[in-house]
Structure 1
Amino acid sequence: MVLTEALFLVVAALVAVYLWFQRNHTYWQRKGIPYIPPTPIIGNTKPAFKLETSFGLYLSDIYNDPRAKDEAVVGIYALNKPGLIIRDVDLIKSVLIKDFNRFHNRYAQCDPHGDPLGYNNLFFVRNNHWKDIRTKLTPVFTSGKVKQMYPLMQEIGRDLEAALKRHGEESSGKYITEIKEICAQFSTDSIATIAYGIRANSLENANAEFRNHGRKLFTFNVSRAKDFFVAFFLPKLVSLLRIRFFTPEFSYFMRSTIGHVLEDRERTGFVRNDLIDVLVALRKEAAAEPSKPHYARNQDFLVAQAGVFFTAGFETSSSTMSFALYELAQHPEMQHRLRQEIHEALLEGGGSLSYEKIQSLEYLSMVVDEVLRLYPVLPFLDREYESVQGQPDLSLKPFYDFSYENGTPVFIPVFGLQRDPKYWPNPNQFDPERFSPENRKNIQAMAYLPFGAGPHNCIGSRIGLLQSKLGLVHFLKNHAVRNCADTMKQMKFDPKGFVLQADGGIHLEVVNDSLYDVGARDSNQSV
């Protein structure tokens, strides 16, 4: 009898949960918003659960769904939570710029107790804390500061040249390699030196500590895929499920490394115009006014900023470089044109490229911008709507008779937008001419968002672009890339990654080609 009653209670509870989900899954239908029919219980997350595609890319699949065609928005469900995919560029502008005060938080969250480095960093921090931290960190990313960092980047560029030359000498001048790895070694060493004043030496030792931790952080197994999925799409569950953006090993590494660097910088008083200088200044601010609350009294706050600078900095640049080299291998004539531009600039500069000169390389900029269109590192943007006290909620009129409700997540499918034939003719074709000086003026701004837009745009975009360009210059100066038997005929993306990564890596043949053209007589000079 007791067993029967218990079984009845379990069945009743399951039925109640099912009916609750079903009721929630009629939300968009009741609101008169177009939607993609959800799967019971799991909503519109089935492809991500089955690891058919990442949820970030699935947002773009929904953007392109024939049922969503010509709609300004489309409703979805992350399990039971109703969310909106924004398709109309004017509504995207509303979210990112015009009505930013209502969308200033990301929907994604981290656990303040289980993952303080994730919770406290600029990418995830919320409300006024974000604004305060952004203001404090902005001085690191001005064009003047980036220019001061350029010589430090050049040193790592020379290390990249040496590494490529060394690999070539070991294999008779040409070899097949997974190209993302050497790009990640370059960007890891570059970020370590410009942000922390540390020589990471990844290009000399592929198992160097910085590279090892970065590799583990962005190696997407099923467990890490679950962590990122919950953080971005089910953030209310991060504490319950003990989700961590930064792994315990990475957190320990960053705390010990940054703690040591901060102490050394404070002891010596050495000024290097980098991120550590800003963090030292914040700690001095806190010490000067001990009676006032200050972020910098929390050591994890300082380490968190260093952590996100490192992870975002090395992954974005290395992805951009590796996707660029992949496309250049597919288009030898474009590779020839870019290498010719690089070599002519080196001749003009006597074997060296100034900061101003590398910024002026027109075709290099065109190539990088087109790579970022086809391969945006973060394939979506997320925001959370917040009501403003005393004001009516934001309406979707004239598109729909609907007003946002407080806490509604909104997603902008960057990957889908940047491959939409409405804005980009032959959108899947790699074509740097889209970004020629005469064609740039025709680009729909809100359909090109590799770094976001508005106040919450990527604070490090200047550094990321410069790092990618410099890495390509040093790579292509004395080397060419070609397809090989292991090169993907058509790009496929890792379904487990929340950032855009090639599934199985990008394998190319690297050829020592220092006698390529008129720059040969200067090929032994450093850039």
Structure 2
Amino acid sequence: MIILLIWVAVLIAVLVLYLRQIYSRFSRYGVKHFKPVPLLGNMTRILLRINHFADDIFSLYRSFPEEKFVGRFEFLNEIVLLRDIELVKRVCVKDFEYFLDHRSVFSTSDSFFSRNLFSLKGQEWKDMRSTLSPAFTSSKMRLMVPFMVEVGDQMMSSLQKKIKESKSGYIDIDCKDLTTRYANDVIASCAFGLKVDSHNDVDNEFYAMGKLSSTFNFRQVLIFFIISNAPKVAQFLKLDFLSETSKKFFRKLVLETMENRELKNIIRPDMIHLLMEAKKGKLTHEDIKPNDGAAGFATVEESAVGQKEINRVWTEDDLIAQAVLFFIAGFETVSSAMSFLLYELALSPDVQEKLAQEIKETDVKNGGKFDFNSIQNMPYLDMVVSELLRLWPPGIGLDRICTKDYNLGRPNDKAEKDFIIRKGTGVMIPAIAFHRDPEFYPNPDKFDPERFSEENKHNIPMFAYMPFGIGPRNCIGSRFALCEMKVMAYQILLRLQVSPCEKTTIPAKLDRETFNIRLQGGHWLRFRARD
């Protein structure tokens, strides 16, 4: 018994010394951080659902205002959080090759997630980026806008019917459900060439799979952190974000659609067609233009990485993986942004009316037609969307992993030595914290589209606005997302007025049960016909 107690004491002592070694590195270099909890690091408040992930990031960013970067522990793993926009520029652009990859968040090689553009690493990522870049130019988006308008017409028909049938002349609805169904139908049409009406056929298979694959509930948050911080454990447990049912669904959908089009020689300018062209090596880079911001201020431009000609042959699974990524990214992130857009417009009736007036004038001018040219000629709509993406960026933080040891410099003016970030260490760029920093945006919590007017937008620091990321590894789908948001805003505000109702969450408070940005209690708003 005494021997057993001695062994227990020895093991505890070894564990204590090990944890002390792990958790003391930031302190040794003068890097500020919150005191970690043994084994959990700085994850306690998220795991106990006291904080949303965004709240946790805000707290760390704002607690050390004099620092260029600060530390964070996800369980036993070091994460460096950047607070200085010059450092952001170095990491994401100037010294990009040191931070080429995202952190590994997908555990199994047979997962569609592990083969998509977000997850690929090194040269494979560069090749895939170059392969897909021509599919996301403004000229390609121009062809997809009519599909978005068609889906929006379905949505408006459903909304107007419900308002007409209501005795009160208005309806109260959860906008997250509305925008998710709209985004689902847009992806079905623009990516897969399917006609889906989720507003009437509420339980259709395409929508059910989207919800299953993209809703990051608390269980999936745990899976995410296990995969990213303990990949070997995740691999042993065979953890994956996609269920076997979802994998079979997407494989069948993509392959059968491609086969049918080849057989019947069907050409439709959607994502499946573009992936088929990519497989044949027929996508060209001739229409990628530098500084192509045709879809709006927030558009990110393609770097030289994405403009190289690639002759690589991709497998069927590689192409399915890109279709799955496009589906899930479009399903959740865009629907979140649109639900917050409607929320902010409801709480800012002056902004809503000014935008509605621009929309009405554009509609009259174009004889009721709305296309890509309309998007380009609506400056206030772009201001509103740009400001929304500042206030509520769907990507709360950007992540990178250090691929070889890198000198970040000193964390503050008082530090005595440089901090060398080691290979394999994660780096976080807290987009939402930069976007709400009063140093860059006066009165940062106010929804104020005038920040992005012609007179003011030059005041926005280049590396303090990142709704679609920064540098070569930015979001390839920024033009698509911006077009989708603008089409929906146009169609709703042309016919309907949005206002708060009894269930509206005021002030905004994020739901701690999910990794996604979502309001606690839902995005409830009131819709009535516009006079």
Under a length normalisation based on structure 1, what TM-score does the superposition of the two structures give?
A: 0.90
Deviation of 1:294 after TM superposition, in Å, equals 5.9
Gaps of 5+ in 1: 287-292, 517-527
Is the Cα contact below 8 Å between 2:469 and 2:475 reproduced in 1?
yes
Q: Residue in 2 aligned with 1:394?
A: 407
Which is worse superposed, 351-360 or 364-373?
351-360
Deviation of 1:268 after TM superposition, in Å, equals 2.0
- Where in structure 2 are the equivalents of 1:184-199 lying within 5 Å? 184-199=180-195
Is the Cα contact below 8 Å between 2:407 and 2:418 reproduced in 1?
no
Q: Residue in 2 aligned with 1:41?
A: 39
Aligned partner letter, 2:58 = S
Aligned partner letter, 2:118 = F
Is the Cα contact below 8 Å between 1:107 and 1:382 reproduced in 2?
yes
Deviation of 1:100 after TM superposition, in Å, equals 0.7
Q: Residue in 2 aligned with 1:485?
A: 502
Structure 1 pair 496/104, CA: closer, same or farther in 2 (3 Å)?
Answer: farther
Q: Residue in 2 aligned with 1:524?
A: none
Q: Residue in 1 aligned with 2:452?
A: 435
Gaps of 5+ in 2: 283-310
SS in 1 for 2:421: coil
Is the Cα contact below 8 Å between 2:149 and 2:370 reproduced in 1?
no
Structure 1 pair 470/232, CA: closer, same or farther in 2 (3 Å)?
Answer: farther
C-alpha separation between the residues in 2 aligned to 1:500 and 1:359?
Answer: 28
Matched, 1:62 2:60: yes
Q: Residue in 2 aligned with 1:119?
A: 114
Deviations 1:399-420 (A, max 9, x none): 5522222112111111111111
Q: Residue in 2 aligned with 1:522?
A: none
- Where in structure 2 are the equivalents of 1:386-465 lying within 5 Å? 386-387=403-404, 393-396=406-409, 399=412, 401-465=418-482
C-alpha separation between the residues in 1 aligned to 2:519 and 2:176?
Answer: 9
SS in 2 for 1:296: coil
Q: Residue in 1 aligned with 2:305?
A: none
Q: Residue in 2 aligned with 1:348?
A: 365
SS in 2 for 1:177: strand
- Where in structure 2 are the equivalents of 1:201-212 lying within 5 Å? 201-212=197-208
Which is worse superposed, 168-177 or 485-494?
168-177
Q: Residue in 2 aligned with 1:93?
A: 89
Q: 1:329 aligns with which of 334, 346, 349?
A: 346
Is the Cα contact below 8 Å between 2:173 and 2:525 reproduced in 1?
yes
Is the Cα contact below 8 Å between 2:383 and 2:452 reproduced in 1?
yes
* Equivalent residues, number: 498
Matched, 1:52 2:70: no
C-alpha separation between the residues in 2 aligned to 1:241 and 1:499?
Answer: 24
Structure 1 pair 239/351, CA: closer, same or farther in 2 (3 Å)?
Answer: same
Deviation of 1:165 after TM superposition, in Å, equals 1.2
Is the Cα contact below 8 Å between 1:109 and 1:238 reproduced in 2?
no
C-alpha separation between the residues in 1 aligned to 2:319 and 2:247?
Answer: 12
Matched, 1:147 2:126: no
C-alpha separation between the residues in 1 aligned to 2:222 and 2:75?
Answer: 14
- Where in structure 2 are the equivalents of 1:4-83 lying within 5 Å? 5-6=3-4, 8-65=6-63, 68-83=64-79
Deviations 1:431-463 (A, max 9, x none): 111111111000012111110011000000000
C-alpha separation between the residues in 2 aligned to 1:333 and 1:509?
Answer: 16
Matched, 1:467 2:462: no
Sequence identity (%)? 35
Q: 2:153 aligns with which of 122, 138, 158?
A: 158
Matched, 1:138 2:133: yes
Aligned partner letter, 1:116 = S
Deviation of 1:204 after TM superposition, in Å, equals 2.3
C-alpha separation between the residues in 1 aligned to 2:27 and 2:206?
Answer: 49
Aligned partner letter, 1:75 = G
C-alpha separation between the residues in 2 aligned to 1:55 and 1:175?
Answer: 32
Aligned partner letter, 1:477 = L
SS in 2 for 1:401: coil
Q: Residue in 2 aligned with 1:183?
A: 179
Aligned partner letter, 1:254 = F
SS in 2 for 1:511: strand
SS in 2 for 1:157: helix
Deviation of 1:89 after TM superposition, in Å, equals 0.3
Deviation of 1:239 after TM superposition, in Å, equals 1.5
Structure 1 pair 464/231, CA: closer, same or farther in 2 (3 Å)?
Answer: farther
Q: Residue in 2 aligned with 1:520?
A: none
Is the Cα contact below 8 Å between 1:229 and 1:498 reproduced in 2?
no
C-alpha separation between the residues in 2 aligned to 1:480 and 1:195?
Answer: 30
Is the Cα contact below 8 Å between 1:18 and 1:41 reproduced in 2?
no
Which is worse superposed, 309-318 or 374-383?
309-318
C-alpha separation between the residues in 2 aligned to 1:294 and 1:14?
Answer: 53
Q: Residue in 2 aligned with 1:296?
A: 314
C-alpha separation between the residues in 2 aligned to 1:473 and 1:54?
Answer: 31
Q: CA RMSD in A?
A: 2.1
Q: 2:249 aligns with which of 248, 253, 277?
A: 253
Deviation of 1:285 after TM superposition, in Å, equals 5.8
Structure 1 pair 131/404, CA: closer, same or farther in 2 (3 Å)?
Answer: same
Structure 1 pair 395/484, CA: closer, same or farther in 2 (3 Å)?
Answer: closer
C-alpha separation between the residues in 2 aligned to 1:39 and 1:316?
Answer: 32
C-alpha separation between the residues in 2 aligned to 1:342 and 1:440?
Answer: 22
Q: Residue in 1 aligned with 2:294?
A: none
Is the Cα contact below 8 Å between 2:31 and 2:411 reproduced in 1?
no
Structure 1 pair 367/101, CA: closer, same or farther in 2 (3 Å)?
Answer: same
Deviation of 1:398 after TM superposition, in Å, equals 8.6
C-alpha separation between the residues in 1 aligned to 2:95 and 2:514?
Answer: 30
